[in-house]
Structure 1
Amino acid sequence: MLTVAVLISGTGSNLRALLEAAAEPGFPARIVVVGADRQADGFAHAEAFGVPTVLVPFREFETREEWGDELRRQIDVWTPDLVVLSGLMRLLPAELVDAWAPALINTHPAYLPEFPGAHGVRDALGAGIAETGASVIVVDSGVDSGPILAQERVPVLPGDTEHTLHERIKPVERRLLIETVRAIATGEIDLAAYRTDAGAAAAASDPLIP
């Protein structure tokens, strides 16, 4: 059984979908803890499913690195096999990425490497393209630049706004996330194949590396 930690910042809609999937009989993963960098509404989903929560407020630390050190300490207590960034609106320090990767994944509302960054949906609309998409990636030290684990195209329709387009991307994003977690749990996706030199150096002592 794959154990999963999920990190959020907001409402946790992807988290809710993953919790519901994990509650289904036969799903090969379970969520052991949900963490956040602020008091997030998504904690309510975790509580509804009886999953412990961890709050590590970013603003209480002088540096990103200090915040990352505390976040790692709080999450490592649960020794998860995988960490999922699910709407965490905070860049992780490079040292934390190196420690957790490649067992660290994220979703993005675009067909990477197209339109990385915080405004992927808006940028796709602004480019006037006919299709965008959703992606699930291994997190690396760049901005949405890690290896792609799964992705799917989503059409841009006439009259689409940022809101309407994003609302059509979200269900695809959730499904891809659930499918990816399932594939990691069953071994269909071997995250060890995505291990960087930095990740390999951390693997011997880090419980997050399978």
Structure 2
Amino acid sequence: MSKLKAAVFASGAGSNFQAIIEKRDLACEIALLICDKQNAGVIEIAKKHQIPTFIFSAKEFASKQAFEEKIVSELRKIEVSWIFLAGYMRIVGSTLLQAFPGKIVNIHPSFLPNFPGKDAIEQAYQAGVNTTGVTVHYIDEGIDTGPIIAQESVAIYSEDTEETLKKRIQEVEHELYPNVINQLLQQSEG
């Protein structure tokens, strides 16, 4: 039986993408990277691992619907079943949501519902709270409002800097996300 195919959407350096593709027993094939930044570090990681990449610039399309239709077309060509967001800095619109209902998952660097949206680590650090965390959740029309799949808390220590906190959060992300992806894929096949 062939493995399910998944796409990863990313906009940045690609540390979660790297963690996903390096998981030894990953229950799917990462068949495509979708990236909206021409110079994102994640593109080099994809090249190194020989993963095809679709790079787009939103400005080249008339609307969000237009670029999402193009993305859906690319995903359908290679029969992608799941989408995993890994630092994709765009809000997913209804075109993608309708094409992949219940099959788009995101990782967010906070213990949702606390600190949704951009700069979640900075938000938590500035708020002076004792804990934050990592959340894996389904995508819906809101910003980090979809149903939560898994969470893990991360303590914020008095000696922490934003950078040390970010490093600890990423360590949790890199462990949690690939494991949750496997659980979801196994449940969907079972």
TM over 0.5: yes
Contact kept, 8 Å, 1:110 with 1:120, in 2: the verdict is yes
What residue number does 1:4 align with? 6
Contact kept, 8 Å, 1:35 with 1:75, in 2: the verdict is no
> 2:22 is matched by which residue type in structure 1?
E
What residue number does 1:208 align with? none
* Number of equivalences: 187
Output the aligned Cα RMSD. 1.7
Alignment of 1:77-156 (within 5 A): 77-156=77-156
- Residue 132 of structure 1 and its aligned partner are, at CA, apart by 0.5
User: Could you list the per-position Cα deviations for residues 152-174 of structure 1 after superposition, in whole angstroms to 9, with x for gaps in the alignment?
Assistant: 00000113222221111011112
2-structure distance, mates of 1:73, 1:163: 39
1-structure distance, mates of 2:180, 2:77: 24
Indicate the percent of aligned positions where both proteins have the same amino acid: 32
2-structure distance, mates of 1:95, 1:53: 20
- Residue 140 of structure 1 and its aligned partner are, at CA, apart by 0.4
- Give the 3-state SS of the residue equivalent to 1:72 in structure 2: helix
- Residue 151 of structure 1 and its aligned partner are, at CA, apart by 0.7
- Give the 3-state SS of the residue equivalent to 2:112 in structure 1: coil
Alignment of 1:7-86 (within 5 A): 7-21=9-23, 24=24, 26-39=25-38, 40-86=40-86
1-structure distance, mates of 2:68, 2:54: 13
- Give the 3-state SS of the residue equivalent to 2:185 in structure 1: helix
User: Could you list the per-position Cα deviations for residues 41-81 of structure 1 after superposition, in whole angstroms to 9, with x for gaps in the alignment?
Assistant: 21111121121111121121122221211122122212112
Q: Which runs of 4+ in 1 moved over 6 A?
A: none
Contact kept, 8 Å, 2:113 with 2:145, in 1: the verdict is yes
1:173 partnered with 2:161: no
User: Could you list the per-position Cα deviations for residues 147-203 of structure 1 after superposition, in whole angstroms to 9, with x for gaps in the alignment?
Assistant: 11111000001132222211110111121110111101211xx59xxxxxxxxxxxx
Unaligned runs of 5+ in 2: none
2-structure distance, mates of 1:172, 1:148: 16
> 1:165 is matched by which residue type in structure 2?
L
Unaligned runs of 5+ in 1: 192-210
